[in-house]
Amino acid sequence: MKTITTTDDLAAFCAEARKHPYVTVDTEFLRERTYYSKLCLVQLAMPGEGDEGAVLVDPIGNDMSMEPLYALFRDTSVVKVFHAARQDLEIFFVDAQVFPEPLFDTQVAAMVCGFGDQVGYETLVRKIARETVDKSSRFTDWSRRPLSEAQKAYALADVTHLRLVYEYLAAELAKKGREKWVAEELTMLTNPETYRARPEDAWLRVKTRTTSGKFLAVVRELARFREEYAQTKDVPRSRIYKDDALVELASTKPRSLNDLAKSRLLLREARKGDIADGILAAVEAGVNCPPEEYPQMPTLREKQQVNPALADLLRVLLKAKTESAGVAAKLIANATDLDALAAGYRDVPALNGWRREVFGADAERLCEGRIALAAKGPNVRIVSLD
């Protein structure tokens, strides 16, 4: 198996890849010790059999530019094929603000083709390629060198089997006329907003037991500081302070280093230096926030009035429609979406695009009392009441 370690070799491979209709792509990375994912390896494969046309790209310890790969990503004549692409795409977007175009995600395609919810790569390889994937190196430290032959074989298998999986799913989508369904799903993956962590919104991820604006103002400022510090220093949020410590700080509102020293949950490193100064400044900003600028928690739909009988009927309808269409139910709507529909909300994804075609239109008619459901043996049928 070939390992690329120079820009020239990467450029040569990418030039050859442009002669083919698609290339399969995967990455290995680490994120345990950093805020941003650290790219450790890129796996690429052109159409072929076995290891033919497949390479490993090793960016660690080599003075190599990834620009030839990014140029290939921009070449719209070659489909870039991933499985569960989100984390891979985040790496490339953060590094070069580039998205592969056109993009094909076999996990999304498999859900549209009826392989179940968030189907794993190993499952698709077993069902489509009739092969098994050795996952013994799944939890390896990909930043350490040299890589063993077992690690290389494991990494390469993530793109070699992917070729057959892609060809099969692409043919199934074309046969069923569902290419546009997948294209709709992938628009979120290629939206830059999907990968931008805004410090001012970081507080929304912190779970608290109170909705007091005065309290949330301090939570917001503490979360904002933590996010900005983590991004600047490229360290995990939890290395600065964890959510439970953040909530404790918002409750106790320390005003001095002596106050910080009394915290039960704050890490020792956070009680001094830049982090301590940032905490005290954030608490002060939150405490002095004018009431008209207090943050407000988003309205929780589950606290709204849900018609439980209607919610149950929507679940029956969803099961029937997705089984008939051969598509994963969770790709159409989750339990929260169904409860929102039963509570009278109409701003849910299930009522738009291809989801409306499969489920949304009939779901809306059911909510309006224009159709009923009837069971006959194992089947559920729709009865018009218009």
pLDDT digit string, tens, across residues 172-210: 999 999 999 999 999 999 999 999 999 999 999 999 988
- Grouping H, G, I as helix, E, B as strand and the rest as coil, residue 190 is coil
Burial class (CB in 10 A: 0-12, 13-18, 19+), 106: buried
Q: Which helix (H) or strand (E) holds 383?
A: strand 379-384
Residue 163 CA to residue 155 CA, distance in Å, equals 14
The string of pLDDT tens digits covering residues 297-354 is 876 544 568 899 999 999 999 999 999 999 999 999 999 999 999 999 999 999 999 9
Largest Cα separation within the chain, whole Å, is 72
Is the pLDDT reported for residue 171 higher than 90?
yes
* Torsion angle in degrees (nearest 10) through CA of 366, 369, 375, 380: -20
